[in-house]
Amino acid sequence: MSFIAVDKDSDFPIQNLPYGVFSTKEQPRPRIGVAIGDQVLDLSAIKHLFDGPILSKQHHVFDQPTLNRFMALGWEAWTEARALLQKLLSHKEPTLRDNVELRKRAFVPQASAIMHLPAEIGDYTDFYSSRQHATNVGVMFRGKENALMPNWLHLPVGYHGRASSVVVSGTPIRRPLGQMRPDDAKPPVFGACKLLDIELEMAFFVGPGNKPGEAVPISEAHKHIFGMVLMNDWSARDIQKWEYVPLGPFLGKSFGTTISPWVVTMEALMPFALPNPIQILYGAVEPGSTKKGSHNMCIDPRPLPYLCDDQPYTFDINLFVAIKGDGMSKPANICHSNFKHMYWTMKQQLAHHTVNGCNLRPGDLLASGTISGPATVRETVIALALVNVPEKCSQPDLSDRFLWRTSQRGERGRRALNVLSFV
């Protein structure tokens, strides 16, 4: 329990303590903070209290305008910081609780905080790790018989995105312009995107990087993963459809990607870890076939050794997307899913990313790809509902104009209730 009053329904109890970068009108310099209840704890104001073996010599990282240098310190420093913060915020600890002047300097109401990007993002990679989403999109573009590409069950498919246009929640996104070809019998046209879409994703920030030419083994990958954010991968589907062959998306994606301001650390998420998806070939059965009596009716190929990992590293995080358009009194929930449905884990993504010697750096952003689940969970992109938006969204007053005015909010699962939030 914290001496800071935390409502029982708060997204930011002492078990969470996500990191972010904020400023205020009175103090416009961006600085690092931690969310607790409806307050932000300014770490630059209490940096002298970090007296552990690592941070006592490195507390200058909390004077920085981004999290990059703190993330670069690694897992032991993150654990040290979290332990001290939970101690300082405890109702039993007088150091901060009873120092009226320090409390006045250190705490800022969240309502007064202006949030910034948590890190300087040098590189951004977007994966494609939901089997259900990959299948659904494959059916759209290639038909049911060729829904999954031959490589999909063997490696985490990804592409290099545009880091410079990643923005924090609340930043306006301009409807993109580009080429499209709405009529296959006519030449392409130039204009504003008419099929602006959203994709509900999550992403993680890289902590310590690796040297060029040195791969990160999957057994060590967790030491390079700092924490997670929500992500909206804005997509101009009509531009993307015309341009994506043969090298993938370009202008259809590069105009903007939105992430949440608060980074929930992996240490805070570990209580909600689940066993990894089953990725194993039973006997000599061909991949994609079925085996009677098996609890896992999809028989998949076992990954190559560098991608094999038995340590639980997928997470029970409930997610939903809500849209609020002009004239709507409250947002309409249009889809929901859970991060636990992802086929490839973050550790597999990071190990695969570096296996060729590619070097990652602190602050790099690696995204999950659209998070979809079983057929009972509505698809978390609107593209799959474009033929009949009202039917798919179960909201008769929704129209394509709402593809432009989109908001998202992450909600915790029952196991994680009142523990975690990213927004």
Catalytic residues: 133
With CA atoms as reference, report the closest residue to 223 among 158, 317, 311: 311
C-alpha to C-alpha distances, 146 to 119, 137, 163, 197, nearest whole angstrom: 39, 11, 32, 24
Cβ contacts of 360 within 8 Å, gap of 6 or more: 123, 206, 209, 210, 216, 224, 350, 353, 354
With CA atoms as reference, report the closest residue to 359 among 236, 163, 211: 211
Q: Is 282 annotated as a binding residue?
A: no
Contact criterion met (CB below 8 Å) for 137 and 386 = no
- Which residues are registered as beta bridge partners of 367? 126, 203
Token pair listed for 8: 């029982």
Q: Is 171 annotated as a binding residue?
A: no
Q: Is 257 annotated as a binding residue?
A: yes
DSSP output for 198-236: -BEEEEEEE-S---TT----GGGGGGGEEEEEEEE--EE
Token pair listed for 141: 């573009």
Q: Is 316 annotated as a binding residue?
A: no
Please list, residue by residue across 248-286, b when 16 or more beta carbons sit within 10 angstroms of its beta carbon and e when fewer do: ebebbbbbbbbbbbbbbbbbbbeebeeebbebeeeeeee
Question: How many residues are recorded in the chain?
Answer: 423
Chain centroid to CA 269: how far? 13
Q: Is 63 annotated as a binding residue?
A: no
Q: Is 126 annotated as a binding residue?
A: yes
Residues making up the annotated binding site for Ca(2+) are 126, 199, 201
Residues making up the annotated binding site are 126, 128, 142, 199, 201, 233, 240, 244, 253, 257, 370
